[in-house]
Structure 1
Amino acid sequence: MLKQIAISELRLGMYIHEFCGSGIHHSLWKNGFLLQSEQDLQRIYDAEVIELWINIRRGIDMDTCAVNTQPVSIPDSQATTVATMAEEISHAVTLCMQSKAAIKRMFADLRMGRVIETGQVTELVTRISESLQRHPDAFISLARLKASDEYTYMHSVAVCALMIALARGMKLPPQLIQDAGVAGLMHDVGKAAIPVAILNKPGKLCDDEFETMRGHPEAGAHMLHGNPLFSARVLDVCLHHHEKFDGSGYPHKLSGSQITLFARMGAICDVYDAVTSDRPYKSAWGPAEAIHRMAAWKGHFDEKIFQAFVKCVGIYPVGALVRLESGRIGVVCEQHEKSLLTPKVMVFYSAITEQTIPLCVVNLAMALPPDRIISRECPARWGFRDIDHLWSGLSAGKSHFD
């Protein structure tokens, strides 16, 4: 029986039947083989394979993997210095400003028919990746705080960071992590071909405008085609990040395994940042509300990849307003490295007395007496405004990326 898996699921003891669209020389493996050596596994990683078919009758399946059949650990070459949340936010503000300016120039160059400065793309992705390694929450959480008129440019920056985090969480090899970041940064580049009046329209698009907007994936793939910096994976994310797992997306109505691993990843990262961002015509959802709603969209996303995404950003991502069992209300300010249910929460209000209380960070993994999250809360329900300044330490009510 054949089964398609992602490279992150490959284990010693599996029987490899066929590789999917990789750069590997298929003649080396044409008869299939049982994966028994770490050297062969390393060669597959080096060949940048993304997906493959295994025969679970001739080798082990994911469900029967033993403890000692873990994938080879391939070190990420990025910086490994650890920073506190506050330290990395200060770095991330500058990096967000520089990234926004770079993407803005890139879009302007594309509109004028100029060639993209590819070295700048690589440098940006590397710097964003280094920020995520110093602290996994800071840059991703900060990029969400874009103003509505910054969306076109900052969305690309945010999706880049989300793609890197997701690829790293899925234990993809370093080159594929870098490629995921480039794909995220460039996924909406086709919007450079869309009239600015449509991109920035404050109201709902009419049918003709919406149809024009739907042309941006093909426009983006066309812009990047032939540029040696951008791999086939990057072009594919440009073209197919609006496909849905059930086949109801666009532009080609692909479904299931017809959609590549990277495009399935891109679809999740794109939607999460879109719905958690203020837009000219729509207010942002809270990050926890977004995770909850996206989980309910059956057929929209690859469920396994969505679960991996939730592990990266959290069930209660940074910035989520939550109520604790103790009656205190606060904002999630940092994730726990190993537990999705025990983040750090900055409490500031009592739902029992309906009064503010002294600011206090509660580490739910170590709280004494024990406390836990019992619900997501809507800031509007309590009349709270600009609560993101509590966890970020930045001033409320302004753009931080100008």
Structure 2
Amino acid sequence: MLKKIAVARLRPGMFIHEFCGDWMSHPFWRSRFRLDGDDDLRRIVESGVEHVYIDTERGLDDQDAVPAAEVRAAVEQEIVAALATPVDVPMRVSVHEEIQRARKVHDQAHRVVRSMMSDVRLGKAVSLEDAEPVVEAITGSVLRNGGALMGLIGIKNKDDYTFLHSVSVCTLMIAFGRSLGLEGDDLRQGGIGGLLHDIGKMKVPDEVLNKPGRLTDAEFELIKRHPGDGHATLVETPGIGPVPLDITRHHHERLDGSGYPDRLAGDAISSMARMAAIVDVYDAITADRCYHKGMPAAEGLRKMWEWSAAHFDQKLLQAFMRCVGIYPVGSLVRLESGRLGVVIEQNESNLLTPRLRVFFSTRSNGYIKPEVVDLSRRLGSGGGDRIVSAEAPDRWGVDPGRFLLVA
């Protein structure tokens, strides 16, 4: 059985199943292992992670451990209560109308980020003249209908993760900022910060950045240098503003002071850096990487809420979840009827009842004629069904992106 336990109660002989924290907060990038000695225990304590899940069938139990099912039920109740009033962000066009333009914007952004990061690896400077048109194009797409581009950013090739992650963080920062009422240069600066936040990773050797196994202490320390290295690179960029510099240096800081590089805590972390921390972790844990399989977006948001008291600004996390939805655009979900569907649009009045395109039956284990279902409508009008779970596409061997990107 999986159970949640405080790190203070860990002891040798327990089997670690999962850390309650993002993968960049600890050196155990393959998180499932038996705790055999004091060295691993010391590294866990020093990482700042406060809780872990243990597998009591593969290791020792603890009397204070809480079953995972109980934790999950409590977290889901908290989320539903916290998001009772969703954000109302007007859309100028439908997802259907915006999707083709969003594809072009996404492809352009990917090419520019790849080129900029390659230049930095070669010792060249970052040019705002390259970054600003990308941010402007992403902002335009988000203002027309953020769902189109936010659906696209969930589709990543793990070999291009570093570049696509930067595009995703930029997109999400702009959508998040807009939902909070930011506009004009404030929104633009947040987008630039999102696009450039990981530029320091180009100073990390590929064999460390993409290592599939557990990092040594020295390798983890090298990874943790990337915010400072990125800041140092951007300081040399003419015209760079204080917001992108702040985001780049501080997107791995955590409210409890356990982050890096400056171990800032509480109010010492700016609002923009707090926003970037949320966006960065959300995109990282929901994407396939060389060293872990990404989790469904809805599951990622639930995990982040579970960690939020120590790691994130909870009010901002609530706002982010309202922005992207409990089931974000592009999510694969299973309905009570046994059908699978991809979320194509949020319902502003109820985040639990988005619009879907259903395309697969789990009962017959086969594709069905695609159909748009609005879960907010009553029985007989596409409703009468409900979401019972978020699903991983690999479980069913389907590609929800094929049905999201129908224009």
| 1:211-222 matches, cutoff 5 A | 211-222=221-232
Which residue in 2 is equivalent to 1:342? 353
Shift in CA distance, 381/182, structure 1 to aligned 2, threshold 3 Å: closer
- Which of 188, 193, 209 is the aligned partner of 2:203? 193
- Which of 299, 303, 317 is the aligned partner of 1:306? 317
Which residue in 2 is equivalent to 1:207? 217
Conserved 8 A contact 2:125-2:236: no
Conserved 8 A contact 1:203-1:280: no
Task: Determine whether 1:386 maps to 2:399.
Answer: yes
- The CA deviation string for residues 216-251 of structure 1, in whole angstroms up to 9 with x for no partner, is 000011111153422112111111101111211111
Superposition deviation, residue 356 in structure 1:
4.4
Superposition deviation, residue 112 in structure 1:
2.7
Conserved 8 A contact 1:83-1:134: yes
Which residue in 2 is equivalent to 1:10? none
Superposition deviation, residue 372 in structure 1:
4.6
Task: Determine whether 1:172 maps to 2:182.
Answer: yes
Task: Determine whether 1:134 maps to 2:147.
Answer: no
Which residue in 1 is equivalent to 2:163? 153
In 2, the alpha carbon distance for the partners of 1:258 and 1:218 equals: 17
Conserved 8 A contact 1:324-1:371: no
In 1, the alpha carbon distance for the partners of 2:239 and 2:398 equals: 43
- Which of 254, 267, 272 is the aligned partner of 1:262? 272
Shift in CA distance, 377/165, structure 1 to aligned 2, threshold 3 Å: closer
Higher mean C-alpha deviation, range 324-333 or range 204-213: 324-333
In 2, the alpha carbon distance for the partners of 1:350 and 1:104 equals: 39
Shift in CA distance, 195/124, structure 1 to aligned 2, threshold 3 Å: same
Task: Determine whether 1:371 maps to 2:387.
Answer: no
Whichever residue aligns with residue 140 of structure 1, its letter is: M
Superposition deviation, residue 283 in structure 1:
1.2
Superposition deviation, residue 132 in structure 1:
0.8
SS of aligned partner of 1:358: strand
Conserved 8 A contact 1:276-1:287: yes
- The CA deviation string for residues 60-109 of structure 1, in whole angstroms up to 9 with x for no partner, is xxxxxxxxxxxxxxxx9xxx993432342222222222211211111122
SS of aligned partner of 2:110: helix
- Which of 165, 179, 184 is the aligned partner of 2:194? 184
Which residue in 2 is equivalent to 1:70? none
Which residue in 1 is equivalent to 2:72? none
Which residue in 1 is equivalent to 2:371? 360
Superposition deviation, residue 388 in structure 1:
2.5
- The CA deviation string for residues 198-230 of structure 1, in whole angstroms up to 9 with x for no partner, is 223343433222211110000011111153422
In 1, the alpha carbon distance for the partners of 2:189 and 2:395 equals: 42
Superposition deviation, residue 351 in structure 1:
4.9
Shift in CA distance, 346/182, structure 1 to aligned 2, threshold 3 Å: same
Give aligned-pair identity as a percent: 41
**Higher-RCO chain (CA-CA 8 Å, sequence separation at least 6):** 2
SS of aligned partner of 2:227: helix
Unmatched 5+ stretches in structure 1: 1-75, 395-402
Task: Determine whether 1:286 maps to 2:299.
Answer: no
SS of aligned partner of 1:136: helix
- The CA deviation string for residues 23-42 of structure 1, in whole angstroms up to 9 with x for no partner, is xxxxxxxxxxxxxxxxxxxx
Conserved 8 A contact 1:333-1:344: yes
In 1, the alpha carbon distance for the partners of 2:360 and 2:91 equals: 35
Superposition deviation, residue 354 in structure 1:
5.5
Higher mean C-alpha deviation, range 365-374 or range 293-302: 365-374
Shift in CA distance, 222/365, structure 1 to aligned 2, threshold 3 Å: same
User: Between Structure 1 and Structure 2, which shows a larger proportion of helix residues?
Assistant: 2
Task: Determine whether 1:235 maps to 2:245.
Answer: yes
SS of aligned partner of 2:92: coil
Question: Taking structure 1 as the reference length, what is the TM-score of the superposition?
Answer: 0.73
SS of aligned partner of 1:137: helix
Number of residue pairs matched by the alignment: 316
Whichever residue aligns with residue 170 of structure 2, its letter is: C
Higher mean C-alpha deviation, range 370-379 or range 213-222: 370-379
- Which of 247, 252, 263 is the aligned partner of 2:262? 252
Higher mean C-alpha deviation, range 137-146 or range 340-349: 340-349
In 2, the alpha carbon distance for the partners of 1:345 and 1:219 equals: 42
Higher mean C-alpha deviation, range 311-320 or range 373-382: 373-382
Unmatched 5+ stretches in structure 2: 1-88
SS of aligned partner of 1:120: helix
The CA RMSD over aligned residues, in Å, is: 2.3
Whichever residue aligns with residue 177 of structure 1, its letter is: L
- The CA deviation string for residues 310-337 of structure 1, in whole angstroms up to 9 with x for no partner, is 1111001122222334443322122224
Which residue in 1 is equivalent to 2:128? 118
Superposition deviation, residue 169 in structure 1:
0.5
Shift in CA distance, 115/350, structure 1 to aligned 2, threshold 3 Å: closer
Shift in CA distance, 207/237, structure 1 to aligned 2, threshold 3 Å: same
Which residue in 1 is equivalent to 2:333? 322
Conserved 8 A contact 1:322-1:373: no
Conserved 8 A contact 2:393-2:399: no
Superposition deviation, residue 374 in structure 1:
3.8
Which residue in 1 is equivalent to 2:284? 274
Conserved 8 A contact 1:159-1:269: yes
In 1, the alpha carbon distance for the partners of 2:299 and 2:96 equals: 25
Whichever residue aligns with residue 327 of structure 2, its letter is: Y
